[in-house]
Amino acid sequence: MATEKQYGVTAAFSSDPPNTRDLKLNDTLVLEFKAQNNFAPQSDTDKREAILKKLESLLQRMVQVVGKKKGLPAGILDSAGGKVFTYGSYRLGVYGPNSDIDTLCVAPKHVTREDFFECMPDILRNAWTPEELTGLVPVPGIGTPIIKLTIQGVDIDLIFSNLQVSSVPPDLNLTDDNLLRGLDETDRRCVNGTRVAQRVLELVPQTKPFRLALRAIKLWAQRRAIYGNVYGYPGGIAYAILVARVCQLYPKAAAPLLISKFFFIMKRWNWPKPVFLQSKEETSLQLREWDPMAYRGDAAHLMPILTPSYPSMNTAHTIGQSTKMVIMRELDRGEKIVQDIYDGKKQWKDLLQRHTFFTESYKHYITIITAARTKQDHDNWAGLVHSKAKRLVADIEHSDAKSVELVQLFNKGFERVHECRSPEDIEKTLEGDLSCQVQATKTMEETNDPRMQGVAQTETDGAELPIMNGDAQSQEKGPQKVWTTTYYLGIGLKKGATGLDISMPVKNFSGECTMWPSYNEDVHSIKIKHIRSFALPPDVFVDGETPPARPKKKAAAVQKSAEAPNNKRSFSDTGLDANADPAKRRQSANGPSATSTPNGMTARPNGASG
């Protein structure tokens, strides 16, 4: 009997084919995806392929234009080429009708990154009509420089790398490690996405069940608000690696069993033991890889999920103590629900239910309210604060706040636009009041904002955040608009805790944000507040959700509480009092700058009055 092929670094747990129950649940899973519009129609796929084909021809034209400017001979230009690769959900085959296309443009060595950002935007603008090309924003000044554009309703992220070769032929394969020679860190980061996605597909036994299982896990993670590196959770490639590892252990399994085993295995995984898909490769290249023995920072990672291509890196380096607790809690929930699905007690839609972050999970929340007088100033400022938000979580985790069990940063910010007619309107808007709001709230996921793309791709915590160009709107007369973005942190208190002191982490975080070189105390504002669950604004809830109600106190309990001495600090003692009189806060902030007020380090845009 022939020995079956081993996938991964260990033998399979089971090589049994799917049984009747697996196949039936596979059919119901596909039906659930169709009901939730998770599959892109064929017409959408055809449109995407046509766009990519045209992008490649435009890239090749750009390579020719740059070469001619630099005086290269015709013989070299004839074979210079240029090729477009994809990565992310599109390359893995798990994209939906609203998914973007992560795209890598690869050119020969005579084309620099500066050439790309100088020439490519105009070539793109001339290739489509204004009705077809509805957005184009170059963002060169970040860790992974990018051009974000929307073509025929499809969002596309273009990144670029040249290779130290004279030509890029149509059959070029980026899996060759030798192509990394001579590349700087930015170029390696650009090509790594494509290399990792390709290698993941090569290391799974069957792509069809892998893709179906990954769709389920990604949708589950997104619905449960545990998705996104910048918020301290695994991102798309990390979840892909985890699902791929389960596929290696059950090489013939159908998607439902893979989903079941995903929850079973990852819940019991011996973290921080890393998850990886292949043994370490030997190479003559001397590039830094993830190594907890050599690097103290790597040794501190809580849930290492390693890329399979060289150089191997941890895709989940932002996971902290609290986010790990939240992930483990959701893995436990997922395992129980999938078991009930196999037992016929529940359906796939139960696994994919929306999170309860605002409705049930917490009684206390910290809000970070960023504000500015123009959209341009707001976008830059909110992006900077957003890039640092997970640092506040870590500081609270490591602070002296012994009553805190965990801090969960919600994985979307809420963007609002307000029209203020008086200094009092501006003041209460900075405090989080929504009475002046004039446009529907959007989450960052809906805005597809380039500043968020930059944050997600860099590990500099905003140090390289670009200043986005845009039209600064003058508001010298009439009502003044104020743009805000609010981030929410759920605070889980330990059993029996009655107080909380996180004033020092909050003060440090606010101070770090206001040290941003482009910070202007007359333009930018940051306000950090505590609110109770029953005081959450209505726009954080969706149709069908019941907002938390104010708890009713029993008379006897109120009397007892009034008589008993309180030796613990309450929220009002921390500088995050949710119920303090706004007028008193304005008095305490009197002066040209209010960056050092006792209640949350706030700064006012022009027009605010002390």
- Catalytic residue numbers? 89, 100, 102, 157, 218, 227
Rounded CA gap, 222 and 232, in Å?
Answer: 13
If residue 27 lies in a helix (H) or strand (E), which one and from where to where?
A: helix 20-35
Rounded CA gap, 586 and 570, in Å?
Answer: 22
Q: DSSP class of residue 478?
A: S
Pairing of strands 154-162, 101-107: parallel
Give burial (CB, 10 Å; 0-12/13-18/19+) of 194: buried
With CA atoms as reference, report the closest residue to 602 among 519, 546, 526: 526
What is the gyration radius of the CA atoms in the chain, in angstroms? 26
Residue 595 identity (one-letter amino acid): T
> Contact at 8 Å (CB) between 414 and 486?
yes
Pairing of strands 364-372, 480-493: antiparallel
**480 DSSP β-pair partners:** 420
Rounded CA gap, 315 and 87, in Å?
Answer: 15
Token pair recorded at residue 316: 């989940």
Give burial (CB, 10 Å; 0-12/13-18/19+) of 94: buried
> Contact at 8 Å (CB) between 337 and 259?
no
3-class secondary-structure state, position 437: strand
